[in-house]
Amino acid sequence: MSLLGKLEGDVQIKAPAGKFHDVFSCRPHHLNTMSPDKVHGVDLHEGDWGKEGTVITWNYTHDGVKKTTKEIVEAIDDKNNSTTFKVIDGDLTKEYKDFRFIVNATPKPSGEGSVVRWTLVYEKLNRQIPDPTTLLEHLLHCSKDIDAHLTQTQVQN
């Protein structure tokens, strides 16, 4: 059993890929209003919203437990609607030596809606640490909450 791992999961949404991408690349601090039972706040520590190198802290609930993670925005690719976060401190560092989240939104060929892909790339501290499958599920459910918020906002506008 390897200490290195990669998990991927997709979810189909109704919102345009660019709008979904904008939430993670530029406005993650709005997530607590889009998915309040999962994300309680995102705080800026260093840098500017929407910029690579920005350091943020996420306060969230996962598996019924309130947690925090401090991350650096490692990459923002507006052309491909992708944002990469690298964990640098917090609850995930208790089990993982290295952890990255990559969220990518791709427009559907039909032009209606998008597909959101979450990729988790990690290195466990030891072999007894489980793969973060419930965290991936958590992110996919959060994506559905964001989609509901974005599409509700579209209808109202």
| pLDDT above 70 as % of the chain | 96
The confidence band for 157, taking pLDDT boundaries of 50, 70 and 90, is very low
Q: Could you write out the DSSP letters of every residue in 35-97?
A: STTTEEEEEEEES-TTSTT-EEEEEEEETTEEEEEEEEEEEEETTTTEEEEEEEEEGGGGTEE
Average predicted confidence (pLDDT) for the chain: 94
13-37 pLDDT, tens digit per residue, is 999 999 999 999 999 999 999 999 9
- Contact yes or no for 98/84 (Cβ under 8 A): no
Q: What is the pLDDT of residue 145?
A: 97
Residues belonging to the chain = 157
CB 114: neighbour CB atoms within 10 A? 24
pLDDT in tens, 117-129: 999 999 999 999 9
Could you give the CA distance from residue 83 to residue 21 in angstroms, rounded to a whole number? 7
% of the chain residues with pLDDT over 90 = 92
Spatial distance between the Cα atoms of 106 and 99, rounded to a whole number of angstroms: 23
Quote the pLDDT of residue 1. Answer: 57
